[in-house]
Amino acid sequence: METDILQKNNLLAQRNRGWFEAKGILALNLVSSPGSGKTSLLERTIRELGGRLPVAVIEGDQQTMNDANRIQQAGAPVVQVNTGNGCHLDADMVHRAFRELNPAEDSVLMIENVGNLVCPSLFDLGEAKRVVIMSVTEGEDKPLKYPNMFRSADICVINKIDLLPYLDFDLPKAKEYALQVNHHLTFIDLSVKSGEGFENWINWLMEQAGK
Amino acid sequence: METDILQKNNLLAQRNRGWFEAKGILALNLVSSPGSGKTSLLERTIRELGGRLPVAVIEGDQQTMNDANRIQQAGAPVVQVNTGNGCHLDADMVHRAFRELNPAEDSVLMIENVGNLVCPSLFDLGEAKRVVIMSVTEGEDKPLKYPNMFRSADICVINKIDLLPYLDFDLPKAKEYALQVNHHLTFIDLSVKSGEGFENWINWLMEQAGK
């Protein structure tokens, strides 16, 4: 039965992918543990991209409209999807959300998944790139302990580097572990709070969007 | 089908509960986001409880024996359960693990669940108490965004308070949110790293074990 669900999801995800391609929309699937700073990353991204690149957001959470309210205040159109007991977004939820959101052509669509390093790894949403965010307050061995997620990601954003002086976190070791499960993975180290390294993220986005 | 799985799990969990009661074993189910410090909490607990209270551990992870190795070095018997694609421990996995571990009578059995704030909330393991661990590096609104987990927990350990000076985390607000979803919840604030507040956790354990 699990295979059936995944197969059905894969078909719908390809349909989403075709829709995004037709409109020139760069769709990103943002996955992480709860509390790694996905929403803060989006808030700052929306503010820094300013008029350069329009951003729309789909927010996934079990409950609350909190993140959608934060994104709206940052100035981007947003649709919140509450999954209830569900532990991940799927391609159908995303399909219904972006049809409601109707993002502009040649824009970026940020899909913030439910905070969970396990289940979302199995569900393609039709994204162009999957972005896994980890924070330096988590252990270095997270990529080894949650290998499916790091294996399925295209890029790894390592957030909260402003806290490095107060932690025992070994940044090179974390990357070494991540590369063990996915040797194609690339990394951007940054702090959403201090802004350090944030330009690398913005540059990566502009490049992905072909700007 | 989901209901069937949960119903079957509930039956097995009650059988586990009976086994623990018969042996006077205090079984705790430790749940959290990845990286909140569950394993470090256990390491320090094993060292601080010393000979006062025997501790055995069941370690749940998607992959790796890392945590089991750490627990063994801290001096406690341990069985590692790798869930593969699975996102939580269930009562059957725990049953097989504790039969292999065969914990001593009148001991504490720590069950470290897979790091995930969603799926483990639905699966009773037969524990006496469910302990949710959150870290001050996560957002205050986690209890609202993952309400099932906080609603099903008996006690909330708030870890990494040594980092509070470097964060914008509002501790009273986090507790207020947690109490909104579960007004029975009690809290222990501590830092596994600095040891601040740790005696409250040890005292709580001794009290639960009837010592």
Note the pLDDT of residue A50. 84
This complex has an ipTM of 0.88
**A33 with B115: Cβ contact below 8 A:** yes
Mutation target among A87, A112, A113, A177 for the B interface, most CBs of B within 10 A: A87
Tokens encoding A188: 């951007």
**A145 with B1: Cβ contact below 8 A:** no
By a Cβ cutoff of 8 Å, what residues of chain A touch chain B? 1, 33-35, 39, 61-64, 66-67, 85-87, 114-119, 122, 134-135, 137-139, 141-142, 144-148, 160, 162-163, 166-167
Q: Please tell me the distance in Å from B60's CA to the nearest CA on chain A.
A: 10
CATH superfamily, with its number, for domain B2-208: P-loop containing nucleotide triphosphate hydrolases (3.40.50.300)
- Can you tell me the distance from the alpha carbon of A7 to that of A91, in angstroms, rounded to the nearest whole number? 11
Q: How many CB atoms lie within 10 A of CB B112?
A: 28
Please report where in the chains the tokens 């999954």 appear, as a residue: A83
Identify the band that residue B33 occupies on the pLDDT scale cut at 50, 70 and 90.
very high
Domain ranges of chain A: 2-208
Note the pLDDT of residue B51. 81
pLDDT of chain A, 211 residues: tens digit per residue: 577 889 999 999 999 999 999 999 999 999 999 999 999 999 999 999 988 999 999 999 999 999 999 999 999 999 999 999 899 999 999 999 999 999 999 999 999 999 999 999 999 999 999 999 999 999 999 999 999 999 999 999 999 999 999 999 999 999 999 999 999 999 999 999 999 999 999 999 999 999 8
**B62 with A145: Cβ contact below 8 A:** yes
Please list, residue by residue across A46-77, b when 16 or more beta carbons sit within 10 angstroms of its beta carbon and e when fewer do. beebeeebbbbbbbbbbbbebbbebbbebebb
Mutation target among A2, A6, A33, A122 for the B interface, most CBs of B within 10 A: A33
Chain A, chain B: beta-carbon pairs less than 8 Å apart: 115
Q: Can you tell me whether residue A23 is helix, strand or coil?
A: helix
Tokens encoding A66: 């909190």
Nearest CB to B66; choose among A1, A87, A145:
A145
**A146 with B115: Cβ contact below 8 A:** yes
**A145 with B34: Cβ contact below 8 A:** yes
Distances from the Cα of A160 to the Cα of A125, A184, B146, B198, angstroms:
27, 23, 22, 26
Residue of A nearest to B143 (CA): A63
Nearest CB to B145; choose among A63, A141, A162:
A63
Nearest CB to B145; choose among A33, A66, A146:
A66
Q: Can you tell me whether residue A180 is helix, strand or coil?
A: helix
Note the pLDDT of residue B3. 79
Note the pLDDT of residue A51. 81
Query: Phi and psi for A78 in degrees, rounded to 5?
Result: -150, 145
**B119 with A118: Cβ contact below 8 A:** yes
Query: Phi and psi for B137 in degrees, rounded to 5?
Result: -85, -10
- Can you tell me the distance from the alpha carbon of B14 to that of B23, in angstroms, rounded to the nearest whole number? 14
Which residues of chain B make contact with A145, given a CB cutoff of 8 A? 34, 61-64, 66-67, 115
Contact residues for A207 (Cβ-Cβ < 8 A; gap 6+): none
Contact (Cβ atoms closer than 8 angstroms) between residue A9 and residue A124: yes
Q: For residue B1, is pLDDT > 70?
A: no
- Can you tell me the distance from the alpha carbon of A164 to that of A106, in angstroms, rounded to the nearest whole number? 37
Q: Please tell me the distance in Å from A99's CA to the nearest CA on chain B.
A: 25
Q: For residue B61, is pLDDT > 90?
A: yes
Cα angle: A148, vertex A154, A155; to 5 degrees: 105
Contact (Cβ atoms closer than 8 angstroms) between residue B91 and residue B17: no
Contact (Cβ atoms closer than 8 angstroms) between residue A115 and residue A66: no
- Can you tell me the distance from the alpha carbon of B90 to that of B13, in angstroms, rounded to the nearest whole number? 8
Which residues of chain B make contact with A6, given a CB cutoff of 8 A? none
Give bridge partners of residue A110 from the DSSP assignment: A28, A57
Contact (Cβ atoms closer than 8 angstroms) between residue B75 and residue B47: yes
Instruction: Output the DSSP codes for B78-140.
Output: EEEEE-TT--S--HHHHHHHHHHH-PPTT-EEEEE--S-SSGGGG---S-SEEEEEEETTS-T
Q: Please tell me the distance in Å from A7's CA to the nearest CA on chain B.
A: 16
Contact (Cβ atoms closer than 8 angstroms) between residue A141 and residue A180: no
Reference B142, options B167, B161, B120, B170; nearest CA is: B170
Note the pLDDT of residue A121. 96
**A117 with B34: Cβ contact below 8 A:** yes
Residue-level length of chain B: 211
H or E element: which one contains B151?
helix B147-151
Query: Phi and psi for B165 in degrees, rounded to 5?
Result: -60, -20
Q: Please tell me the distance in Å from B105's CA to the nearest CA on chain A.
A: 31
